[in-house]
Amino acid sequence: MHFTPDLARIQFAAFEPQNGIKPSFLDGPGGSQVPVRVVEKMGHYLSHYNSNLGGHFYSSMVTTELMTKARTYAQNLLNAESSDQIVFGPNMTSLTFSLSRAISRDWVEGDEVVVTALDHYSNVSSWQQAAEDRGAIVHQARVDEEDCGLDFDHLEQLVNEKTKLIAVTAASNTTGSLVDISKVVELAKRHNALVYVDAVHFAPHHLVDVQAWEVDFLACSAYKFFGPHLGMAYVHPKHLHTLKPYKVEPATNDGPGRFETGTQSFEALSGFIEAVEYLAQWGGKESPIRARLEQSFKQYEAHEAALCRHFLQRIEEIRGVKVYGRGLENVATRTPTFALRFDGTAPETVAKRLGEKGICVWNGHFYALGLIKQLGLLESGGVVRVGFMHYNTLEEIDDLIEQLKIIVN
């Protein structure tokens, strides 16, 4: 079957009227809606097999198998070398904090780390605090204010032989700008630095390929791509056993389990498997899961590019609007996420008025603090963020524009 947004939408309960209004979810970058089939899988696991790993009874065996299957699904989603490279955790932030501890253990005073102003602060503060503990120095690469992407020239100036790691996002959760990760990895390799990629905003829109990018680490979050609250990280094979994670003594010291503290959310893992199946559903029935994902994502990308174009064309009808980020000529290097300001109307007012009409958008800085500070927008309330997913439609964009005309014109 070929993807259409309507065929996707009927798989969600959330699009039914809420509080008497048909909701329009333009808040995807904050978290996507969840298909009913994902929710059902989670309920089924909890109600039938709720258990723990490694026991000599059926529900525990089901749980152990589930964990193995979830790793294989994540391996395919990220194109990792093996399922052993996948670490699960509660969310991207927790995983990044704990991995940053293990990664920074051998840093010494005077070592350097580079973070970026484009990043969500989960991929900034973790490294700032790890560096502080080791006496290392943190540099922050600036945003290119023209297109609200990464200022690569500035990044290049900051990297040198003392650089231990570059922490960078694959896509801005605020302006939607993509970052050329291969170029960052090439720069890092020239200086023997590691690369830690935040793919949280990238993953719902494009298929991650850790082997093509040759990254050392990459983290993302299933609740941004139609799954439950669950984080996952890829660890390159060369780091899996050389890093020494902070862990509880009797917990396993083998494989990815070394980095997984405490008991995992098995219900979330079962939901995650189903979310990957949901994502892959437009790629035929017979092919392996990665091939099905590739076929499906091509269709999401085509639809999302159409959403981008339609939005960028229609937003011009709004007087006094500023779009921070890439325009019509650069749709291929952005996600359908837009940061907006309106002359004379505060971001919070716009978000509130749209919310009253059932149009869900966020306002503020979304933890992309460096970006919002550099743009000088922090004190005045940040931006309005409108973010589309493959389940959004051209009609929802038209409704949004009509409402914006009433609110701000």
Ligand X SMILES: Cc1ncc(COP(=O)(O)O)c(C=O)c1O
Interface with ligand X by CB under 6 A: which residues? 29, 91-93, 120, 122, 169, 173, 198, 200-201, 221, 231
CB of 59 to ligand X, least distance (A): 28
**Coil/strand/helix, residue 288:** coil
Q: Do 104 and 136 form a contact (C-beta atoms < 8 A)?
A: yes
Residue with smaller CB distance to ligand X, 88 or 282? 88
CB of 234 to ligand X, least distance (A): 15
Residue with smaller CB distance to ligand X, 181 or 408? 181
CB of 116 to ligand X, least distance (A): 11
Q: What is the DSSP letter of 142?
A: P
Residue with smaller CB distance to ligand X, 115 or 318? 115
Residue with smaller CB distance to ligand X, 300 or 362? 362
Give the DSSP letter string of 16-80.
S-BTTB--EE-BGGG----BHHHHHHHHHHHHHH---TT-SSHHHHHHHHHHHHHHHHHHHHHT-
Question: In terms of Cα–Cα distance, which of 199, 201, 189 is closest to 165?
Answer: 189
CB of 364 to ligand X, least distance (A): 12
Residue with smaller CB distance to ligand X, 231 or 347? 231
Place of tokens 């996420």: 337
CB of 361 to ligand X, least distance (A): 14
What number of other Cβ atoms are within 10 A of residue 19's Cβ?
Answer: 6
Question: In terms of Cα–Cα distance, which of 88, 164, 208, 174 is closest to 373?
Answer: 174
CB of 253 to ligand X, least distance (A): 26
CA angle (161 as vertex; 154, 172 as ends), nearest 5: 35
Token pair listed for 7: 């065929």
Residue with smaller CB distance to ligand X, 131 or 168? 168
Per DSSP, helices labelled H in 191-317 are 210-213, 237-240, 266-280, 289-314
Q: Do 377 and 292 form a contact (C-beta atoms < 8 A)?
A: no
CA angle (195 as vertex; 29, 252 as ends), nearest 5: 90
CB of 113 to ligand X, least distance (A): 17
Burial of 193 (0-12, 13-18, 19+ CB in 10 A): buried
Dihedral sign computed on CA atoms, order 232, 228, 338, 312: positive
Question: In terms of Cα–Cα distance, which of 170, 194, 58 is closest to 120?
Answer: 170
Residue with smaller CB distance to ligand X, 120 or 341? 120
Q: Do 300 and 100 form a contact (C-beta atoms < 8 A)?
A: no
CB of 19 to ligand X, least distance (A): 25
Residue with smaller CB distance to ligand X, 197 or 293? 197
The type of residue at 243 is L
Residue with smaller CB distance to ligand X, 51 or 221? 221
CB of 349 to ligand X, least distance (A): 23
